[in-house]
Protein backbone atom coordinates (compact mmCIF):
# COMPACT_ATOMS: atom_id res chain seq x y z
CA UNK A 1 0.00 0.00 0.00
CA UNK A 2 1.21 3.51 -0.82
CA UNK A 3 0.29 6.89 0.65
CA UNK A 4 -1.68 7.67 -2.51
CA UNK A 5 -4.20 4.98 -1.57
CA UNK A 6 -4.97 6.49 1.83
CA UNK A 7 -6.87 9.52 0.51
CA UNK A 8 -4.28 12.18 1.39
CA UNK A 9 -4.13 15.37 -0.64
CA UNK A 10 -1.55 15.91 -3.37
CA UNK A 11 0.32 18.50 -1.29
CA UNK A 12 0.71 16.05 1.59
CA UNK A 13 1.81 13.24 -0.73
CA UNK A 14 4.47 15.47 -2.26
CA UNK A 15 5.80 16.41 1.17
CA UNK A 16 5.89 12.76 2.28
CA UNK A 17 7.77 11.78 -0.89
CA UNK A 18 10.21 14.63 -0.36
CA UNK A 19 10.85 13.32 3.16
CA UNK A 20 11.83 9.95 1.69
CA UNK A 21 8.85 7.81 2.74
CA UNK A 22 7.12 5.54 0.23
CA UNK A 23 5.01 3.13 2.29
CA UNK A 24 2.94 3.88 5.40
CA UNK A 25 3.43 1.98 8.62
CA UNK A 26 0.60 -0.31 9.81
CA UNK A 27 -0.76 2.28 12.28
CA UNK A 28 -0.73 4.93 9.56
CA UNK A 29 -2.37 2.69 6.98
CA UNK A 30 -5.23 1.81 9.33
CA UNK A 31 -5.75 5.12 11.13
CA UNK A 32 -5.44 7.73 8.35
CA UNK A 33 -8.58 6.69 6.36
CA UNK A 34 -10.72 6.84 9.54
CA UNK A 35 -9.32 10.25 10.51
CA UNK A 36 -10.11 11.58 7.02
CA UNK A 37 -13.63 10.19 7.43
CA UNK A 38 -14.07 12.35 10.58
CA UNK A 39 -14.31 9.33 12.88
CA UNK A 40 -13.04 9.19 16.45
CA UNK A 41 -9.98 6.94 16.61
CA UNK A 42 -8.42 5.01 19.47
CA UNK A 43 -4.93 4.06 18.28
CA UNK A 44 -2.74 1.57 20.14
CA UNK A 45 0.71 0.78 18.82
CA UNK A 46 4.19 0.23 20.15
CA UNK A 47 6.61 3.12 20.10
CA UNK A 48 8.52 3.86 16.93
CA UNK A 49 5.70 2.86 14.57
CA UNK A 50 4.79 6.35 13.34
CA UNK A 51 1.86 7.36 15.52
CA UNK A 52 2.69 11.06 15.15
CA UNK A 53 2.40 10.97 11.35
CA UNK A 54 -0.79 8.93 11.70
CA UNK A 55 -2.61 12.07 12.88
CA UNK A 56 -0.35 14.77 11.40
CA UNK A 57 -0.81 13.79 7.75
CA UNK A 58 -4.64 13.59 7.73
CA UNK A 59 -4.87 16.82 9.76
CA UNK A 60 -2.91 18.65 7.06
CA UNK A 61 -5.37 17.37 4.46
CA UNK A 62 -8.41 18.40 6.51
CA UNK A 63 -7.04 21.88 7.23
CA UNK A 64 -6.60 22.78 3.57
CA UNK A 65 -10.14 24.19 3.63
CA UNK A 66 -11.13 26.94 6.05
CA UNK A 67 -9.15 29.59 7.84
CA UNK A 68 -8.07 30.40 11.38
CA UNK A 69 -9.64 33.10 13.55
CA UNK A 70 -8.03 35.19 16.24
CA UNK A 71 -7.60 33.40 19.58
CA UNK A 72 -9.66 30.45 18.31
CA UNK A 73 -7.49 27.52 17.13
CA UNK A 74 -9.02 25.09 14.67
CA UNK A 75 -7.27 21.98 16.00
CA UNK A 76 -5.69 21.16 19.36
CA UNK A 77 -2.97 18.61 20.12
CA UNK A 78 -2.15 17.83 23.75
CA UNK A 79 1.24 16.39 24.67
CA UNK A 80 2.56 15.41 28.13
CA UNK A 81 6.06 16.92 27.76
CA UNK A 82 7.67 19.91 26.08
CA UNK A 83 9.95 17.70 24.00
CA UNK A 84 7.03 15.77 22.51
CA UNK A 85 5.19 18.99 21.75
CA UNK A 86 8.23 20.44 19.99
CA UNK A 87 8.63 17.21 18.03
CA UNK A 88 5.04 17.36 16.77
CA UNK A 89 5.68 20.93 15.66
CA UNK A 90 8.68 19.67 13.67
CA UNK A 91 6.42 17.12 11.95
CA UNK A 92 4.03 19.87 10.85
CA UNK A 93 6.95 21.92 9.56
CA UNK A 94 8.28 18.94 7.60
CA UNK A 95 5.03 17.61 6.12
CA UNK A 96 3.30 20.99 5.83
CA UNK A 97 5.98 22.54 3.65
CA UNK A 98 3.44 22.99 0.82
CA UNK A 99 0.77 24.46 3.10
CA UNK A 100 0.37 27.95 4.47
CA UNK A 101 -0.84 26.91 7.89
CA UNK A 102 -0.04 28.67 11.13
CA UNK A 103 1.19 26.48 13.98
CA UNK A 104 1.60 27.64 17.60
CA UNK A 105 3.44 25.87 20.39
CA UNK A 106 2.35 26.49 23.99
CA UNK A 107 4.86 25.01 26.43
CA UNK A 108 6.51 26.08 29.65
CA UNK A 109 9.89 27.75 29.80
CA UNK A 110 8.95 30.24 27.04
CA UNK A 111 7.63 33.77 27.54
CA UNK A 112 3.87 34.33 27.42
CA UNK A 113 4.28 37.36 25.17
CA UNK A 114 5.50 35.52 22.08
CA UNK A 115 2.86 32.82 22.52
CA UNK A 116 0.09 35.40 22.98
CA UNK A 117 1.13 37.13 19.76
CA UNK A 118 0.78 33.94 17.74
CA UNK A 119 -2.61 33.08 19.26
CA UNK A 120 -3.92 36.58 18.62
CA UNK A 121 -3.09 36.32 14.91
CA UNK A 122 -4.99 33.04 14.72
CA UNK A 123 -3.60 29.50 14.45
CA UNK A 124 -4.70 26.45 12.53
CA UNK A 125 -2.84 23.99 14.75
CA UNK A 126 -2.28 24.54 18.46
CA UNK A 127 0.19 22.16 20.14
CA UNK A 128 0.33 22.48 23.91
CA UNK A 129 1.02 20.90 27.24
CA UNK A 130 -2.07 20.91 29.51
CA UNK A 131 -0.69 23.24 32.17
CA UNK A 132 0.43 26.03 29.84
CA UNK A 133 -2.77 25.75 27.80
CA UNK A 134 -4.93 26.33 30.88
CA UNK A 135 -2.69 29.24 31.91
CA UNK A 136 -3.46 31.02 28.62
CA UNK A 137 -7.15 30.20 28.91
CA UNK A 138 -7.42 31.57 32.45
CA UNK A 139 -5.68 34.78 31.35
CA UNK A 140 -8.39 35.27 28.74
CA UNK A 141 -6.01 34.96 25.80
CA UNK A 142 -7.46 31.76 24.33
CA UNK A 143 -10.87 30.45 23.30
CA UNK A 144 -11.44 26.75 22.65
CA UNK A 145 -14.93 26.96 21.21
CA UNK A 146 -13.65 26.71 17.64
CA UNK A 147 -11.71 23.44 18.02
CA UNK A 148 -12.77 20.98 15.33
CA UNK A 149 -10.30 18.19 16.08
CA UNK A 150 -8.75 17.23 19.43
CA UNK A 151 -5.72 14.93 19.67
CA UNK A 152 -4.64 13.43 23.00
CA UNK A 153 -1.23 11.87 22.44
CA UNK A 154 0.50 9.49 24.89
CA UNK A 155 -2.66 9.19 26.97
CA UNK A 156 -1.12 6.77 29.47
CA UNK A 157 1.71 9.22 30.09
CA UNK A 158 -0.89 11.87 30.85
CA UNK A 159 -2.21 9.55 33.55
CA UNK A 160 1.23 8.94 35.04
CA UNK A 161 2.07 12.65 35.17
CA UNK A 162 -1.20 13.61 36.86
CA UNK A 163 -2.65 15.51 33.89
CA UNK A 164 -5.99 13.69 33.84
CA UNK A 165 -7.90 16.40 35.83
CA UNK A 166 -6.55 19.01 33.42
CA UNK A 167 -7.49 16.86 30.42
CA UNK A 168 -11.03 16.42 31.74
CA UNK A 169 -11.33 20.18 32.17
CA UNK A 170 -10.01 20.88 28.66
CA UNK A 171 -12.39 18.36 27.10
CA UNK A 172 -15.31 20.23 28.69
CA UNK A 173 -14.08 23.50 27.13
CA UNK A 174 -13.96 22.23 23.52
CA UNK A 175 -17.17 21.70 21.50
CA UNK A 176 -19.10 18.50 22.02
CA UNK A 177 -19.20 17.88 18.26
CA UNK A 178 -15.41 17.80 17.87
CA UNK A 179 -13.47 14.87 16.45
CA UNK A 180 -11.22 13.17 19.03
CA UNK A 181 -8.13 11.03 18.48
CA UNK A 182 -6.46 8.97 21.20
CA UNK A 183 -2.97 7.55 20.61
CA UNK A 184 -0.86 5.60 23.05
CA UNK A 185 1.53 2.66 23.30
CA UNK A 186 -0.17 1.15 26.36
CA UNK A 187 -3.81 1.14 27.41
CA UNK A 188 -4.27 0.50 31.14
CA UNK A 189 -7.83 0.20 32.50
CA UNK A 190 -7.88 3.79 33.77
CA UNK A 191 -7.16 5.16 30.30
CA UNK A 192 -9.73 2.83 28.78
CA UNK A 193 -12.42 4.34 31.02
CA UNK A 194 -11.38 7.85 30.00
CA UNK A 195 -11.41 6.87 26.34
CA UNK A 196 -14.97 5.60 26.75
CA UNK A 197 -15.95 8.99 28.21
CA UNK A 198 -14.13 11.18 25.67
CA UNK A 199 -14.67 9.25 22.43
CA UNK A 200 -17.95 8.78 20.57
CA UNK A 201 -18.30 5.47 18.74
CA UNK A 202 -14.55 5.26 18.12
CA UNK A 203 -12.69 3.05 15.69
CA UNK A 204 -10.09 1.04 17.58
CA UNK A 205 -6.84 0.64 15.65
CA UNK A 206 -4.43 -1.81 17.27
CA UNK A 207 -1.53 -2.88 15.13
CA UNK A 208 0.30 -4.67 17.92
CA UNK A 209 -0.64 -6.16 21.25
CA UNK A 210 -0.76 -3.47 23.91
CA UNK A 211 2.53 -3.04 25.77
CA UNK A 212 4.45 -5.26 23.33
CA UNK A 213 8.04 -4.54 22.39
CA UNK A 214 9.54 -4.36 18.93
CA UNK A 215 11.12 -7.56 17.63
CA UNK A 216 14.08 -5.57 16.30
CA UNK A 217 15.29 -4.85 19.86
CA UNK A 218 17.68 -7.28 21.56
CA UNK A 219 16.84 -7.23 25.27
CA UNK A 220 19.24 -8.34 27.99
CA UNK A 221 19.47 -8.23 31.78
CA UNK A 222 22.75 -7.54 33.57
CA UNK A 223 23.24 -8.45 37.23
CA UNK A 224 24.91 -5.85 39.41
CA UNK A 225 25.40 -4.95 43.04
CA UNK A 226 23.10 -2.79 45.10
CA UNK A 227 25.63 -0.04 45.77
CA UNK A 228 25.66 2.99 43.47
CA UNK A 229 29.39 2.80 42.74
CA UNK A 230 28.98 -0.85 41.70
CA UNK A 231 26.16 0.03 39.31
CA UNK A 232 28.19 2.85 37.78
CA UNK A 233 31.15 0.52 37.28
CA UNK A 234 28.89 -2.09 35.64
CA UNK A 235 27.43 0.53 33.32
CA UNK A 236 30.86 1.77 32.25
CA UNK A 237 31.94 -1.78 31.49
CA UNK A 238 28.81 -2.34 29.40
CA UNK A 239 29.34 0.84 27.41
CA UNK A 240 32.98 -0.01 26.72
CA UNK A 241 32.23 -3.60 25.69
CA UNK A 242 29.09 -2.89 23.61
CA UNK A 243 29.55 -3.72 19.96
CA UNK A 244 28.35 -1.31 17.26
CA UNK A 245 27.51 1.37 19.82
CA UNK A 246 26.93 4.61 17.95
CA UNK A 247 24.95 6.44 20.61
CA UNK A 248 22.91 5.47 23.64
CA UNK A 249 20.33 6.74 26.10
CA UNK A 250 20.85 5.89 29.78
CA UNK A 251 17.63 6.03 31.81
CA UNK A 252 17.45 6.70 35.56
CA UNK A 253 14.38 6.70 37.80
CA UNK A 254 15.22 9.90 39.65
CA UNK A 255 16.39 13.31 38.50
CA UNK A 256 19.02 13.37 41.23
CA UNK A 257 20.55 10.14 39.91
CA UNK A 258 20.67 11.64 36.41
CA UNK A 259 22.91 14.45 37.64
CA UNK A 260 25.15 12.15 39.67
CA UNK A 261 25.56 9.60 36.87
CA UNK A 262 26.18 12.34 34.32
CA UNK A 263 29.05 13.76 36.37
CA UNK A 264 30.48 10.26 36.93
CA UNK A 265 30.51 9.45 33.21
CA UNK A 266 32.16 12.75 32.38
CA UNK A 267 34.75 12.14 35.09
CA UNK A 268 35.67 8.81 33.46
CA UNK A 269 36.11 10.33 30.02
CA UNK A 270 32.70 9.69 28.41
CA UNK A 271 31.07 12.38 26.28
CA UNK A 272 27.64 12.60 27.90
CA UNK A 273 24.85 15.13 28.31
CA UNK A 274 21.98 15.16 30.83
CA UNK A 275 18.24 15.66 30.38
CA UNK A 276 15.63 15.84 33.15
CA UNK A 277 12.56 17.80 34.14
CA UNK A 278 14.29 20.35 36.40
CA UNK A 279 16.31 21.80 33.52
CA UNK A 280 15.06 24.92 31.78
CA UNK A 281 13.71 24.64 28.26
CA UNK A 282 16.78 26.12 26.57
CA UNK A 283 19.11 23.62 28.30
CA UNK A 284 16.80 20.71 27.48
CA UNK A 285 16.62 21.56 23.79
CA UNK A 286 20.39 22.15 23.66
CA UNK A 287 20.99 18.72 25.22
CA UNK A 288 18.70 17.02 22.68
CA UNK A 289 20.29 18.87 19.77
CA UNK A 290 23.81 17.86 20.81
CA UNK A 291 22.67 14.23 21.13
CA UNK A 292 20.85 14.21 17.78
CA UNK A 293 23.82 15.75 15.99
CA UNK A 294 26.20 13.14 17.41
CA UNK A 295 28.30 15.66 19.31
CA UNK A 296 27.40 13.87 22.55
CA UNK A 297 26.91 10.12 21.99
CA UNK A 298 25.52 9.47 25.49
CA UNK A 299 22.29 10.96 26.86
CA UNK A 300 21.60 10.42 30.57
CA UNK A 301 17.90 11.09 31.08
CA UNK A 302 14.89 10.56 33.26
CA UNK A 303 11.58 9.29 31.89
CA UNK A 304 10.99 12.72 30.34
CA UNK A 305 12.88 11.29 27.33
CA UNK A 306 11.11 7.92 27.37
CA UNK A 307 7.94 8.90 25.55
CA UNK A 308 7.71 9.58 21.85
CA UNK A 309 11.05 11.26 21.20
CA UNK A 310 11.90 10.54 17.58
CA UNK A 311 15.64 9.91 17.41
CA UNK A 312 15.70 7.11 14.85
CA UNK A 313 19.41 6.27 14.97
CA UNK A 314 19.71 5.34 18.68
CA UNK A 315 21.66 2.10 18.75
CA UNK A 316 21.55 1.26 22.49
CA UNK A 317 19.39 1.89 25.56
CA UNK A 318 20.72 1.28 29.07
CA UNK A 319 18.32 1.12 32.00
CA UNK A 320 20.54 2.19 34.88
CA UNK A 321 17.51 1.65 37.14
CA UNK A 322 14.73 -0.88 36.65
CA UNK A 323 11.62 1.28 36.09
CA UNK A 324 9.03 1.21 38.86
CA UNK A 325 6.18 1.04 36.35
CA UNK A 326 6.32 -1.79 33.85
CA UNK A 327 4.84 0.39 31.07
CA UNK A 328 7.85 2.72 31.31
CA UNK A 329 10.11 -0.15 30.27
CA UNK A 330 8.25 -0.46 26.96
CA UNK A 331 8.63 3.25 26.29
CA UNK A 332 12.27 3.37 27.32
CA UNK A 333 13.52 0.59 25.09
CA UNK A 334 11.28 1.90 22.31
CA UNK A 335 13.80 4.71 21.81
CA UNK A 336 15.96 2.16 19.93
CA UNK A 337 15.08 -0.22 17.13
CA UNK A 338 12.90 2.38 15.43
CA UNK A 339 11.82 2.46 11.79
CA UNK A 340 12.93 -1.14 11.20
CA UNK A 341 16.45 -0.64 12.55
CA UNK A 342 18.01 -3.05 15.02
CA UNK A 343 18.76 -1.98 18.57
CA UNK A 344 19.91 -3.29 21.93
CA UNK A 345 18.52 -2.65 25.41
CA UNK A 346 20.38 -3.58 28.61
CA UNK A 347 18.79 -3.35 32.06
CA UNK A 348 20.88 -3.34 35.23
CA UNK A 349 19.24 -5.51 37.89
CA UNK A 350 20.37 -5.47 41.49
CA UNK A 351 19.09 -6.93 44.76
CA UNK A 352 15.59 -5.63 45.44
CA UNK A 353 14.61 -5.25 41.77
CA UNK A 354 13.06 -8.71 41.44
CA UNK A 355 9.47 -7.51 41.90
CA UNK A 356 9.73 -4.77 39.26
CA UNK A 357 11.44 -7.16 36.85
CA UNK A 358 8.67 -9.74 37.28
CA UNK A 359 6.05 -7.09 36.48
CA UNK A 360 7.92 -6.12 33.30
CA UNK A 361 8.20 -9.70 32.06
CA UNK A 362 4.53 -10.25 32.81
CA UNK A 363 3.57 -7.13 30.86
CA UNK A 364 5.60 -7.91 27.74
CA UNK A 365 4.65 -11.57 27.89
CA UNK A 366 8.15 -13.00 27.63
CA UNK A 367 11.19 -13.56 29.86
CA UNK A 368 14.23 -11.38 29.27
CA UNK A 369 17.49 -13.36 28.98
CA UNK A 370 20.51 -12.56 31.13
CA UNK A 371 23.80 -11.25 29.82
CA UNK A 372 26.29 -13.29 31.85
CA UNK A 373 25.37 -14.72 35.26
CA UNK A 374 21.91 -14.05 36.61
CA UNK A 375 21.28 -12.16 39.83
CA UNK A 376 20.98 -15.42 41.78
CA UNK A 377 24.20 -16.81 40.27
CA UNK A 378 26.19 -13.64 40.80
CA UNK A 379 28.59 -13.80 43.78
CA UNK A 380 27.88 -11.51 46.67
CA UNK A 381 29.37 -8.10 46.04
CA UNK A 382 31.89 -6.52 48.36
CA UNK A 383 29.69 -3.47 48.78
CA UNK A 384 26.82 -5.54 50.15
CA UNK A 385 28.76 -6.58 53.27
CA UNK A 386 30.19 -3.22 54.21
CA UNK A 387 29.58 0.45 53.69
CA UNK A 388 31.67 2.40 51.30
CA UNK A 389 33.83 5.15 52.81
CA UNK A 390 35.17 8.34 51.31
CA UNK A 391 34.13 10.05 48.12
CA UNK A 392 36.24 8.29 45.54
CA UNK A 393 35.22 5.01 43.95
CA UNK A 394 37.45 2.11 44.89
CA UNK A 395 39.41 4.05 47.53
CA UNK A 396 41.05 2.10 50.34
CA UNK A 397 40.39 4.51 53.17
CA UNK A 398 39.02 3.07 56.39
CA UNK A 399 36.63 4.79 58.71
CA UNK A 400 35.04 4.16 62.05
CA UNK A 401 31.38 3.36 62.35
CA UNK A 402 29.35 3.03 65.50
CA UNK A 403 27.41 -0.19 65.85
CA UNK A 404 25.32 -0.86 68.97
CA UNK A 405 27.36 1.47 71.11
CA UNK A 406 30.82 0.22 70.10
CA UNK A 407 33.23 1.35 67.44
CA UNK A 408 33.83 -0.94 64.50
CA UNK A 409 36.84 -0.46 62.24
CA UNK A 410 35.93 -0.87 58.56
CA UNK A 411 38.75 -1.75 56.19
CA UNK A 412 38.71 -1.68 52.42
CA UNK A 413 41.07 -3.68 50.32
CA UNK A 414 41.01 -6.00 47.37
CA UNK A 415 40.02 -8.93 49.60
CA UNK A 416 37.45 -9.41 52.33
CA UNK A 417 40.06 -11.11 54.58
CA UNK A 418 41.60 -8.81 57.21
CA UNK A 419 45.27 -8.06 56.60
CA UNK A 420 47.87 -7.97 59.34
CA UNK A 421 49.35 -4.56 59.91
CA UNK A 422 53.01 -4.12 59.09
CA UNK A 423 55.32 -3.97 62.16
CA UNK A 424 56.69 -0.65 61.09
CA UNK A 425 53.18 0.77 60.92
CA UNK A 426 52.31 -0.51 64.40
CA UNK A 427 55.49 0.91 65.85
CA UNK A 428 54.80 4.26 64.23
CA UNK A 429 51.26 4.30 65.61
CA UNK A 430 52.45 3.48 69.12
CA UNK A 431 55.24 6.07 69.09
CA UNK A 432 54.08 8.93 66.97
CA UNK A 433 56.71 11.43 66.04
CA UNK A 434 55.41 14.93 65.79
CA UNK A 435 57.18 18.20 65.42
CA UNK A 436 56.70 20.63 68.32
CA UNK A 437 54.19 23.29 67.52
CA UNK A 438 54.99 26.97 67.88
CA UNK A 439 54.04 28.74 71.08
CA UNK A 440 51.22 30.73 69.47
CA UNK A 441 49.57 27.51 68.23
CA UNK A 442 49.65 25.95 71.71
CA UNK A 443 48.14 29.01 73.41
CA UNK A 444 44.48 28.34 72.39
CA UNK A 445 44.81 24.80 73.71
CA UNK A 446 46.04 26.13 77.06
CA UNK A 447 43.11 28.53 77.21
CA UNK A 448 40.72 25.62 76.66
CA UNK A 449 42.42 23.64 79.42
CA UNK A 450 42.18 26.64 81.76
CA UNK A 451 38.47 27.00 81.11
CA UNK A 452 37.74 23.28 81.49
CA UNK A 453 37.81 23.25 85.36
CA UNK A 454 35.32 26.15 85.41
CA UNK A 455 32.88 24.18 83.25
CA UNK A 456 33.34 21.08 85.38
CA UNK A 457 32.69 23.09 88.57
CA UNK A 458 29.50 24.50 87.06
CA UNK A 459 28.33 21.00 86.12
CA UNK A 460 29.10 19.68 89.63
CA UNK A 461 27.43 22.64 91.35
CA UNK A 462 24.10 21.63 89.88
CA UNK A 463 24.33 18.21 91.48
CA UNK A 464 26.30 18.83 94.71
CA UNK A 465 23.15 19.72 96.70
CA UNK A 466 21.34 16.58 95.61
CA UNK A 467 20.33 14.40 98.54
CA UNK A 468 17.92 11.63 99.25
CA UNK A 469 15.63 13.94 101.27
CA UNK A 470 12.35 14.62 99.46
CA UNK A 471 11.90 18.09 97.98
CA UNK A 472 8.88 19.91 99.40
CA UNK A 473 7.20 22.45 97.15
CA UNK A 474 9.81 24.39 95.18
CA UNK A 475 12.65 23.44 97.53
CA UNK A 476 15.02 26.12 98.77
CA UNK A 477 14.29 28.45 95.88
CA UNK A 478 11.01 30.34 95.89
CA UNK A 479 10.20 32.74 93.05
CA UNK A 480 9.89 36.38 94.09
CA UNK A 481 6.33 36.75 92.83
CA UNK A 482 5.19 34.12 95.32
CA UNK A 483 6.59 36.17 98.22
CA UNK A 484 4.50 39.24 97.42
CA UNK A 485 1.63 39.88 99.86
CA UNK A 486 -1.81 39.15 98.55
CA UNK A 487 -4.44 41.79 99.44
CA UNK A 488 -7.55 40.30 101.03
CA UNK A 489 -10.85 42.10 100.87
CA UNK A 490 -12.83 42.28 104.10
CA UNK A 491 -16.31 40.91 103.89
CA UNK A 492 -18.88 43.07 105.74
Whether residue 392 has pLDDT greater than 50: no
Helical ranges in 63-201 per DSSP H: 82-95, 112-121, 130-138, 155-160, 164-173, 189-198
Cα 158 to Cα 79: distance, rounded to the nearest angstrom: 8
CATH code: domain 3-206 is: 3.40.50.300
Average pLDDT of the chain, as a whole number? 80
362 compared with 486, residue with greater pLDDT: 362
Sequence length of the chain is 492
pLDDT at 126: 97
Whether residue 134 has pLDDT greater than 60: yes
When pLDDT is cut at 50, 70 and 90, the band that residue 143 belongs to is very high
- Give pLDDT tens digits for 413-457: 344 444 444 333 333 344 444 455 555 444 555 455 555 554 544
Which residues make Cβ contacts (< 8 Å) with residue 107, sequence separation at least 6? 82, 85, 86, 128, 129, 132, 281
Please state the domain extents for the chain: 3-206, 217-381
Within 10 angstroms of residue 404's Cβ, the number of other Cβ atoms is: 5
- Give pLDDT tens digits for 180-208: 999 887 778 888 888 899 999 999 998 76
- Give pLDDT tens digits for 452-477: 554 544 444 444 444 445 555 666 67
pLDDT at 108: 87
- Give pLDDT tens digits for 482-491: 778 878 777 7
Report percent pLDDT > 90 for the chain. Answer: 46
Could you check whether 3-206 and 217-381 share the same CATH topology?
Answer: yes
Contact 174, 144 (CB under 8 A): yes
Domain 217-381, classified CATH 3.40.50.300, yes or no: yes
pLDDT at 210: 56
Cα 127 to Cα 280: distance, rounded to the nearest angstrom: 19
Assign 402 to helix, strand or coil.
Answer: strand
- Give pLDDT tens digits for 24-59: 988 999 999 999 999 999 998 766 678 889 999 999
Amino acid sequence: MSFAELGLSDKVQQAVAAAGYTEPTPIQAQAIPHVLARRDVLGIAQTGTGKTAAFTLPMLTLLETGRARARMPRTLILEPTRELAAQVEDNFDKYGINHRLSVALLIGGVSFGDQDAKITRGVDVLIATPGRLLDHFERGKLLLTGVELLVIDEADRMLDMGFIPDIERIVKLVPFTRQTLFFSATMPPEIQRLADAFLHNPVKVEVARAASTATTITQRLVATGSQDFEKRATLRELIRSATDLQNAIVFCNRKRDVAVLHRSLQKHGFAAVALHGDMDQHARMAALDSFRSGEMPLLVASDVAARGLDIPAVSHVFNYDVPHHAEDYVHRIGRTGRAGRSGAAFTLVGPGDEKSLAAIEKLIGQPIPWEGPSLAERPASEGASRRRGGRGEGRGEGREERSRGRKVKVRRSGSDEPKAEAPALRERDEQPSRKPRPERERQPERDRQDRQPERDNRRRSRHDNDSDAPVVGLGDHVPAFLLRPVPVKKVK
